[in-house]
């Protein structure tokens, strides 16, 4: 069983739509959670960390459900520039000794005009 499972999509949505991605993780000892974004044939870049209480960054909202071992990302008012692959990332480490990160396979999003 993979450490992080994601629906690969693709998700195809019009500009202005709201879209949600989910992922699940298998290790209940996981402590740190992130969403990374990867544009086509580019390197992954951190989009946002995910905190236990949920957190928002502009049009992006991340939620964590530790009991269900489930992480979500909500994008409101989608822009063409949001088209990318969104990677769910988990680590059993926390704080100053963040080591190995486990990446999901990514969910592909295409926003059309």
Partner 1 sequence: GAGVSQTPSNKVTEKGKYVELRCDPISGHTALYWYRQSLGQGPEFLIYFQGTGAADDSGLPNDRFFAVRPEGSVSTLKIQRTERGDSAVYLCASSLFSGSANTGELFFGEGSRLTVL
Q: Does 62 bind partner 1 (CB under 8 A)?
A: no
Nearest-5° Cα angle at 82, 3 to 59: 90
Residue from 14, 43, 53, 81 that binds partner 1 (CB under 8 A)?
Answer: 43
Residue from 25, 104, 109, 111 that binds partner 1 (CB under 8 A)?
Answer: 104
Q: Does 49 bind partner 1 (CB under 8 A)?
A: yes
Alpha-carbon 36 to chain mean position: 6
Q: Does 25 bind partner 1 (CB under 8 A)?
A: no
Nearer to partner 1 (CB atom), residue 44 or residue 62:
44
**Alpha helices in 1-113, H assignment, sequence order:** none
Q: Does 97 bind partner 1 (CB under 8 A)?
A: yes
Give the residue among 48, 93, 94 at the shortest CA–CA distance from 71. Answer: 48
């Amino acid at each position: 069983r993979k450490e992080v499972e994601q629906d690969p999509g693709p998700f195809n949505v019009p500009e202005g739509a709201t879209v949600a991605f989910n992922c699940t993780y298998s290790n209940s000892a996981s402590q740190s959670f992130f969403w990374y974004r990867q544009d086509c044939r580019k390197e992954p870049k951190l989009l946002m960390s995910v905190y236990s209480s949920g957190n928002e960054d502009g049009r992006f909202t991340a939620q964590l459900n530790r009991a269900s071992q489930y992480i979500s990302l909500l994008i409101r008012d989608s822009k063409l520039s949001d088209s990318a692959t969104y990677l769910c990332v988990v680590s059993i480490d926390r704080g100053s000794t963040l080591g190995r990160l486990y990446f999901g396979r990514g969910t592909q999003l295409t926003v059309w005009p």
